[in-house]
Amino acid sequence: MNERITLKYDVHCDDFTRAGEASSSVKRKLKLMGVNPDVIRKVAIALYEGEINMVIHSYGGTIEVIISPSVIEMILRDTGPGIKDIELAMQAGYSTAPDNIRSLGFGAGMGLPNIKKYTDDLKIESEMGIGTTLRMLVYIPLEE
Amino acid sequence: MTLENFINIFDELELVNKGEELDREVTKPYCCDLLSIAMSKMPQGAAWVTVMANVNTLAVASLTDAACIILAEGCNFDEASLEKAKEKGITILRSHMPVFECALMIYKKLNG
Ligand SMILES: Nc1ncnc2c1ncn2[C@@H]1O[C@H](COP(=O)(O)OP(=O)(O)O)[C@@H](O)[C@H]1O
Ligand SMILES: [Mg+2]
């Protein structure tokens, strides 16, 4: 695998029936490409948390995944309210998710911390009333 | 134990959906209803015992390569989620047992 592969997905707000489809699709493709299972796991966790955040907290957006031989880059762009205090949002347990979201098993305030933990690099840009962009990198270790 | 065996061995568990890859290994029971934790901590090939029955449970099960979902406390998926489980080939069982007792029963069978 030498070329770069770019995958694009739309994410719709409040649509839980489709939430996780982008993550599942990326996972399937990486598996077919024979990518290291630990890398796939990290990508799946980070992407799913990011995708769910777009469904819950934004008005919708796009996910772009660029797969190259040494790194997987994921760019999640949404339009929405934005994140006022990113440092606060990154803290484990901080959540503004309403009760109906909690009853679905989300809203524990662990999404962003999980993303941080399972990616090798994370950059968040957010503008109030405009939207949020997450850029995350997961490196693919060289096979021996 | 293979998933095929697992499905057949428990009288206490009702089969809700027979999924795909029945020759795969069921490794251990895992309990958690909080999806962010389940997502990051679920062991490969887990028998995931939970009371969280919605489409997100299915997404997490498939992303973490859980072997099957076991709904405890008599919980049940709605029609739409069941359809999705069939489409995704996810094996689902259910029981009226509490989460801990259900997982303990599975643990004993897998380790004894
Ligand atoms: N894409 C987003 N747009 C707006 N706000 C967001 C977004 N992602 C996260 N947030 C904010 O950051 C908080 C923490 O996010 P997270 O750690 O994923 O926890 P949770 O989703 O469980 O609330 C959210 O409650 C929300 O206030
Ligand atoms: Mg979240």
Q: Write out chain B residues lying below 8 Å of A105, CB-based.
A: 33-35, 38, 52, 54, 56-57
> Is pLDDT of B23 > 80?
yes
Q: For chain B, which residues make up each domain, given as ranges?
A: 3-111
Q: Write out chain B residues lying below 8 Å of A24, CB-based.
A: 59, 62-63
CATH 2.30.30.90 fits A5-139, yes or no: no
Cβ–ligand 1 contact at A19 (below 6 Å) = no
Least Cα separation, residue A66 to chain B (angstroms): 19
> Is pLDDT of B108 > 60?
yes
Look-up of token digits 């004894």: B112
pTM summary value: 0.94
> Is pLDDT of A143 > 90?
no
> Is pLDDT of A45 > 60?
yes
User: What is the edge-to-edge ordering of all strands in the sheet holding B92-94?
Assistant: B14-17, B92-94, B68-71, B47-50, B29-31
Cβ contact, residue pair B63, A17, below 8 Å:
no
Say how many C-beta atoms besides its own lie within 10 A of residue A71's C-beta. 15
H/E run at residue A78: strand A71-79
C-alpha distances in Å from residue B29, one per residue of B18, B89, B104: 18, 20, 8
Q: Which pLDDT tens digit goes with each residue over B39-97?
A: 999 999 999 999 999 999 999 999 999 999 999 999 999 999 999 999 999 999 999 99
Complex ipTM over 0.90: no
Q: Which pLDDT tens digit goes with each residue over A22-40?
A: 999 999 999 999 999 999 9
Residues of A (49-78) whose Cβ lies below 8 Å from B: 49, 52
Q: Give chain A's length.
A: 144
Q: Any chain A CB within 8 A of the CB of B104?
A: no
CB pairs under 8 A between A and B: 63
Per-residue pLDDT at A144: 63
The vertex-B106 CA angle with B103 and B108, nearest 5°, equals 110
Look up the CATH number of domain B3-111: 3.40.1390.20
Q: Which pLDDT tens digit goes with each residue over A48-69?
A: 999 999 999 999 999 999 999 9
Note the helical H segments in chain A: 21-32, 37-57, 86-89, 99-102, 111-118
Q: Write out chain A residues lying below 8 Å of B40, CB-based.
A: 45, 114, 117-118
